[in-house]
Structure 1
Amino acid sequence: MNERAGLPLPLQVLLWGGANSAAGAATGLAVGAFRPGALVGTDVLISVLFGNVVGFTVLLSSTLVFPRVRELSPALRAALLILTLMSGSVAGTALVLYLFPLFILRDVPQTLAVLAINAVLALIVGSIVYIYEDLRSRLAESLREIEEVRLVEAQLKEQAARAELSALQARINPHFFFNTLNTISSLLEENPRRADEVLQTLAGLFRYTFKAADTNPVTLAEELAFIEGYLAIERARFGDRLGVVSEVAAPALRVPVPGLILQPLV
């Protein structure tokens, strides 16, 4: 027995026992209606006990046996379930009859009728509970599989995004790096201070590429700052031939974007 229904264990036992008692009492009244003579309180009490025998047999079987036979073949599974339910029902019924031996001596036909009803009820209720538990287990398994598929898809998307980012980094690194080194080399003699500024800007750009890989996404403001540094180095190469105008609304600067997403457009 567990608390999968969200109720405390004692309350579950109490509710199950109440339902068993009601079903047992109803069965006893139904059987007694076809028996000559007046129905006495002992008959109802015994029927209540029989109802709990059937009910708790099903409950214990669904908790202890059902989960352990799902992997077996259908024929073996059915045989074990029938054996378990019948054994529990017969053992419980025998205990009740042992406690009330006069019940057997007073009315043997009614005793046999109750035994048969208990066996049939155990099989019917047990089968219904097993089918329900089996369907519930299959549904839970399907939901787990769906969640696993979603997780795999999310991981694949993340890997694809990282691969795309690595590709963008690879596009930036080789040609831009060597062109910038050539620019710095030519500026060392003409304008050493300018060469140092370009070198510092280049170092900042590469720091940003590593940051984008680790903290992707970044804000649009950070991405635009990177583009501005990129263009500053390009201006050092092309001078006044390079002109850029950018207009961005202030609220948009806080929008998250993939790192290095704008560089291929420049």
Structure 2
Amino acid sequence: MPELLLFSNSVNHGRGFLDHAWEAVEAFLGERDEVVFVPFAGGDRPAYTRRVADAFATRGLRVRGLPATGEAHAVLAGAQAVFVGGGNTFRLVDTLQRLDLMAALRDAVGAGLPYMGSSAGTNIAAPTLRTTNDMPIVEPPSFETLGLVPFQINPHYLDADPASTHQGETRETRLTEFLEANDVDVLGLREGTHLRVSGGRGERPLHAHIGGSAVQPQAPGPAIVFRRGVPPFEVSGDVTDLFAFATREL
């Protein structure tokens, strides 16, 4: 199983880039001192890469941006770890697929390259992008993503505000609708939280853990699972059992 650190978001309100998450990042990276950053979900890739590099530099870590050129495969091959940033998931997937990098990234992570993702970068760790919140500003060749975990993920999961007079669709409504057409679990990660996956190699057993703290005031916990045929249920801490529920045929 790949080594994964998947954040719902990279910025909490009133704080800087990954300021809520450095402890998890540094524990994940260990002795590694350089990260390859994938900026393809953003619009201004050089500016995005500089922003991330500046943030990581404060922790003594170097960042190398993944180029959208033929050199990208060699950069991935020499990476110590990879971090796929947030932005628009459709733009990220479109770029990775059209540059023939989706399979290369999947293979590299499967071979042991530690993978960090935030928002869109967390979305693509799932089998498809179909539970993203993003607008389809571009049309990728396929909705298929990395499939590093066997369930779908919905970063930025937002609970309905019971005091609001808004009567439109909620996030729960949309994910319930997804399950009407698909039989695969969806993990909703609230703002401020992350999923850490480790082990699953050799004698190391697979372990998955929800960390961080939800920042939404009315949130009952860090994460929620949507499963076909049962009401949504809260999860926290050890969530290794989610890996026992792969996609089921309807």
Asked if these proteins are the same fold (TM beyond 0.5), I'd say no
Structure with greater strand percent: 2
| Structure label with greater radius of gyration | 1
**Higher RCO structure, 1 or 2 (CA under 8 Å, sep 6+):** 2
